[in-house]
Amino acid sequence: MGQLAFLKMFREDKDMCKIKGVTLGIKDLNFKAHRGKMLARLTDGHEVLVPVSFFPDIKQMPVKEREKWMVLDDQYFTFENMTRVYSVLDLLKVA
């Protein structure tokens, strides 16, 4: 199974890997709102703005590739051409 097929399966299987005790999720990501920063809108209505430099592999991605993000199981995110998966907790650690 290829990486993209696996990620699609991951996205479709609700509650597959929820973080125990965490109800907060990720609605979407925005890399255009603030230069050099990633804005994450959360399911509780809050927004988290973090420097892209805190995520070196995302910083190294071409800007167009950053737009190819996916939210997985509401609490994780990754990108089409990336093997690493981040969680909502990763965002909160650096916020």
pLDDT in tens, 8-66: 555 555 555 788 888 899 999 999 999 999 999 999 999 999 999 999 999 999 999 99
Q: SS3 sequence, 28-82? A: EEECCCCCCEEEEEECCCCEEEEEHHHCHHHHCCCHHHHCCEEEECCCEEEECCC
Whole-number pLDDT of residue 13: 53
CATH number of the structural domain spanning residue 59: 3.30.2020.40
Residue whose pair of structure tokens reads 């999720």 in the numeric block: 25
Q: Distance (Å, rounded) from C-alpha 3 to C-alpha 88?
A: 21
Q: How many domains does one find in the chain?
A: 1
Whether 80 has a pLDDT exceeding 80, the answer reads yes
Which structural domain, as residue segments, surrounds residue 8? Answer: 3-16+24-94
